Amino acid sequence: MEDIYKDVNLVTDDPLGIGGLLFDANRAAQMIVPGYLKRPGLFKELLRASLTGLGYPSGIGNSLRLPADYRLAFQELGLSIGLHAIERLDRIIQDYQDVFNQGQNLKRLINSLMEYSPMAHVIEEFWLNEPNQQSITWTEHRDINTVMLATSLAPEGFLEL
């Protein structure tokens, strides 16, 4: 994981990419606690890149206003899964304050990310709506959309290492 992210600009405005950054941050935090991650700065880089991507003016907030035929459920649900990881991250940091010794800065970063957490529910509700599941973008990707929706609704098994 450390090698993959070495010298890479992590910032993206892609919903699936942002979700990936968030659940990778969750995994990184879980690996920091027992000392498996040798580059703990990567954790903060993942969080910062996620926050930057979520804050893009042309980002996900605008696309959530579009009808289903102009949206890709699996991308949005990937973001939703990542958004569910934020609360877990907050608990990990609280439970292991001695490990995450940058407490205040990290807490502010997590709090900023938490402002986007309600978006997970908005995404899930949209794709649970039967008429939206009749759209071409849902039916063309039904298998991955169904798996991603189920994972978003019950993310614990996916987010726990």
Q: What is the mean pLDDT of residues 132-153?
A: 98
pLDDT tens digits, one per residue of 68-100: 999 999 999 999 999 999 999 999 998 998 888
pLDDT tens digits, one per residue of 9-52: 899 999 999 999 999 999 999 999 999 987 778 899 999 999 99
Give percent of the chain with pLDDT exceeding 70: 96
What's residue 120's pLDDT? 97
> In sequence order, which residues have a C-beta less than 8 Å from that of residue 59 and are 6 or more positions away?
13, 53
Domain total in the chain:
1
Looking at this protein, which amino acid is placed at residue 103?
G
Alpha helices in the chain (DSSP H): 2-5, 15-32, 41-55, 60-63, 73-95, 103-114, 118-128, 136-139, 142-153, 156-159
Q: Which residue range forms the structural domain that includes residue 62?
A: 2-159
The answer to whether 138 and 109 have CB atoms below 8 angstroms apart is no
Q: Report residue 12 as tokens.
A: 């993206």
